[in-house]
Chain A
Amino acid sequence: MIPSQFDYVRVQSVDEAVAALTEHGEDAKVLAGGHSLLPIMKLRLAVPSVLIDISGIRDLSYVRVEGEEVAIGAGTRHHELERDAVAAAEVPILPYVASQVGDPQVRHRGTIGGTVAHSDPASDLPTALLALGGTVVVQGPGGRREIPITEFWLGFFETALQPDELIVEVRVPRTGSAGWAYEKFTRRANDWPIVAVAAVEGRVALANMAGSVVRATATEEALARGASIEEAAALADQGTSPGADMHADQEYRRHLARLLTRRALQRASGGAAAAA
């Protein structure tokens, strides 16, 4: 399978990338690791006329502490995040979740900016980011702006990003030794989650339970009221709208959301996750 024709532009800086996006308009697409974009271009589900390759922007790959936050450069590849010492100490859920994405070859290419921009409801790192909270830093022709993570994903492959904006950074709070857990359910080792649940300090996010990754608000409210883990987890699928496919029907996804939320909350609170 071969993508349709396009022009290829390589940029060396964020400013150059934004200038190229402004020049080429809606026909242009940013190319980072290419591990979401190239597969859909090969299927001709995407036919951009210009690709703007940002992988040569040198200062877009980093993980560093800034005040009470950890800043992660948009070009940071999953395998870099997976073994980053700063991330392991400050937001340990992220390296673990990065290690759960696809397979090693995918993690060698895919970037955090790419997975955030792509906005697939079944993606792993966005689920963890949504549970962490924080901001997506984007740059457009008018300069930088920060979008709260809770307002970034609007629906299936839809985000608050404008076509002439580049994601430059993701910022999350330092969680240090606070309890966290990520429960990903798949049928095969390197698959996308059928359902996944991220839990960090009473915040719970779900993968593949709606058009985008979503917070389990009923569970969070119950926990805030002092409900038990069992009671709160039983509400995890409230307000969700899971789809059905060959892996799972809606009812099974709802069941998984409740079950995995219970396990995640138990694990995050230091208890052993009880078997199903």
Chain B
Amino acid sequence: MQVSITVNGQQRTDEVEPRLLLAHYLREVRGLTATNIGCDTTSCGACTVIVDGLSVKSCTVLAVQADGAQVTTLEGLAGPDGELHPVQRAFREEHGLQCGFCTPGMVMAAVGLLADNPDPSDREVREGLEGNLCRCTGYHNIVRAVRSAAQAGPAAGQVPQVQEVEA
């Protein structure tokens, strides 16, 4: 079946099997491998991407369900000149990662959280990221990073999209 999906501002039409998962579509069809697959059971959040403004676990969405949608992956966050998105910058500055496996999903979930709640409390960050597991950091620095990104201003909750590519 044909799907036309805009990923990080770039629209493309591909022929896919209905059973193809969005996570596999992103990694294998679009070649965007930042999105990790950890548990494959909707538990860990490593595969989190943003679809039409909302965070979702791409291991539990079919590519055909995203037909016509705007998808943002970690690769779509930094500016065209490589300038990091405020949430990426905050994760680096606050040491919000160790092995880095959870990080793409964690960052995308954090961007989704900040889009919804631009200045969350510690508790709101923890609840907002409850769908994302990290086996390394103990979460403290992740919470700190998200709050520090929020301090940096409203850009932390913005998902760069079409404009960037059309420009």
Per the CB 8 Å criterion, the residue count for chain B at the interface is 30
* A34 pairs with B60, CB closer than 8 A: yes
State how many angstroms separate the Cβ of A102 from the closest Cβ of chain B: 7
- In the bound complex, what is the Cα–Cα distance between A39 and B41 (angstroms)? 7
- In the bound complex, what is the Cα–Cα distance between A8 and B20 (angstroms)? 11
Query: Is A5 part of the binding interface, using a Cβ–Cβ cutoff of 8 Å?
Result: yes
Query: Is A7 part of the binding interface, using a Cβ–Cβ cutoff of 8 Å?
Result: yes
* A38 pairs with B60, CB closer than 8 A: yes
Other CB < 8 Å A-B pairs besides A103-B131, A109-B56, 5 of them?
Answer: A8-B64, A31-B65, A38-B60, A106-B131, A190-B130
* B131 pairs with A34, CB closer than 8 A: no
* B18 pairs with A108, CB closer than 8 A: no
- In the bound complex, what is the Cα–Cα distance between A55 and B69 (angstroms)? 13
- In the bound complex, what is the Cα–Cα distance between A152 and B42 (angstroms)? 28
Q: With A51-B18, A102-B131, A105-B55 as given contacts, are A34 and B45 in contact (CB-CB < 8 Å)?
A: no
Q: With A2-B19, A8-B1, A190-B131 as given contacts, are A108 and B56 in contact (CB-CB < 8 Å)?
A: yes
Q: With A6-B18, A35-B42 as given contacts, are A105 and B131 in contact (CB-CB < 8 Å)?
A: yes
Which residues of B line the A interface, CB within 8 A? 1, 17-19, 21, 24, 40-42, 45, 48, 54-57, 60-62, 64-65, 67, 109, 112-113, 126-128, 130-132
CB-based nearest A residue for B24 = A2
Q: Which of A79-111 contact B (CB under 8 A)?
A: 79, 102-106, 108-109
CB-based nearest B residue for A83 = B116
Question: Can you list 7 contacts pairing A with B, beta carbon distance less than 8 Å?
Answer: A2-B19, A7-B18, A34-B60, A53-B64, A103-B131, A103-B132, A106-B131
Task: Name the A residues within 8 Å of B131 (CB-CB).
Answer: 102-106, 190
Task: Name the A residues within 8 Å of B45 (CB-CB).
Answer: 103, 105
* B42 pairs with A106, CB closer than 8 A: yes
Query: Is A1 part of the binding interface, using a Cβ–Cβ cutoff of 8 Å?
Result: yes
* B64 pairs with A39, CB closer than 8 A: no
- In the bound complex, what is the Cα–Cα distance between A185 and B65 (angstroms)? 33
Q: With A39-B41, A103-B45 as given contacts, are A109 and B61 in contact (CB-CB < 8 Å)?
A: yes
Query: Is A3 part of the binding interface, using a Cβ–Cβ cutoff of 8 Å?
Result: yes
State how many angstroms separate the Cβ of B66 from the closest Cβ of chain A: 11
CB-based nearest A residue for B52 = A108
* B18 pairs with A55, CB closer than 8 A: no
Query: Is A276 part of the binding interface, using a Cβ–Cβ cutoff of 8 Å?
Result: no
* B130 pairs with A104, CB closer than 8 A: yes
Q: With A34-B65, A39-B41, A55-B65 as given contacts, are A108 and B17 in contact (CB-CB < 8 Å)?
A: no
Q: With A79-B54, A104-B113, A104-B131 as given contacts, are A6 and B19 in contact (CB-CB < 8 Å)?
A: yes
